[in-house]
Amino acid sequence: MQTNIGKKAAGEKAAEYIKPGMTVGLGTGSTAYYTILRIGELVRGGLDIRAVATSAQSEELAREQGIPLVDFDKVEKIDIDIDGADEADAQLQLIKGGGGALLREKIIAAASKEMLVVIDEHKLVKHLGKFPLPVEVVTFGWELTFRQLSALGAHPVLRLKDNNRFITDNGNYILDCHYQKIHNAPALHTQLNNVPGVVENGLFLDYASRLIIGHEDGSVREITHPYPTKTSF
């Protein structure tokens, strides 16, 4: 049976990289949740940081935890961004957006000097793509965007929540694209973002600098990427 032990171990480990005075990007999801809880403990213990949240959900959690928040538009750079992923490979390429937060997550990752990714061991894969790739699209003309993605072989499915259309924090829809195996992620990334109506897709290529993998026994393993190019070093 799968437990949350790996997620907790990875999420908490990542908080060790936060230093006083840093501006921290708070990720979204059930693994970043543990990072936010740990940061809350550290803040209550006197750690002086400020944070920017990647979603309304994480913002609410951070507030509950007493973590000082700052508006993204007031921040010049983020020192460290800690976020989860739905899949990661050993080259630290990612699929994100299972919770629908991919757009803000990517904007914040791109504004960060360093992106740490926290996952449990089940999300480390040889090939990206088994997890359906989330693509955020504007609601206007979304059916046309859907047809264009279908024509490109994306096998999109409109994401629903409680039988209604899922709406992102940015007021958009998500089309989950079923590839099974992604062969050329950079080419796919460009192809998807070139479709009119697509706002962003969940491939995070060359953003992560450190992958923290939590195991069922509570241990963690880390893989680093020496030269991620998309974060703003």
Ligand X SMILES: O=C[C@H](O)[C@H](O)[C@H](O)COP(=O)(O)O
163: its two tokens: 């039988």
Single-letter amino acid, residue 191: Q
Based on the shown chain and the rule CB under 6 A, indicate whether residue 197 belongs to the binding site for ligand X.
no
Q: Measured in Å, how far apart are the chain's first and last C-alpha atoms?
A: 40
Measured from the CB atom, the residue of 18 and 148 that comes closer to ligand X is 18
Q: Tell me the window of 15-23, 97-105, 107-115, 190-198 that interacts with ligand X (CB under 6 A).
A: 97-105
Q: Smallest Cα–Cα separation from 209: which of 183, 184, 233, 185?
A: 233
Residues in the chain: 233
DSSP 3-state of 150: helix
Query: H or E element: which one contains 225?
Result: none
Based on the shown chain and the rule CB under 6 A, indicate whether residue 99 belongs to the binding site for ligand X.
yes
Q: Closest approach of Cβ 98 to ligand X, in Å?
A: 3
Based on the shown chain and the rule CB under 6 A, indicate whether residue 214 belongs to the binding site for ligand X.
no
Which residues pair with residue 26 across a beta bridge? 53, 82
Q: Tell me the window of 26-34, 56-64, 69-77, 137-145 that interacts with ligand X (CB under 6 A).
A: 26-34
Q: Which of 22, 24, 101, 116 binds ligand X (CB under 6 A)?
A: 101
Please indicate whether residue 105 is annotated as part of the active site.
yes
Measured from the CB atom, the residue of 99 and 197 that comes closer to ligand X is 99
Q: Tell me the window of 41-49, 62-70, 84-92, 186-194 that interacts with ligand X (CB under 6 A).
A: 84-92
Q: Smallest Cα–Cα separation from 81: which of 61, 98, 58, 99?
A: 58
DSSP 3-state of 72: helix
Based on the shown chain and the rule CB under 6 A, indicate whether residue 81 belongs to the binding site for ligand X.
no
What are the distances in angstroms from CA 40 to CA 18, 205, 215?
Answer: 12, 29, 23
Q: Which of 87, 105, 121, 200 is catalytic?
A: 105
Q: Which residues bind ligand X (CB under 6 A)?
A: 27-32, 83-86, 96-102, 105
Positions marked active-site: 105
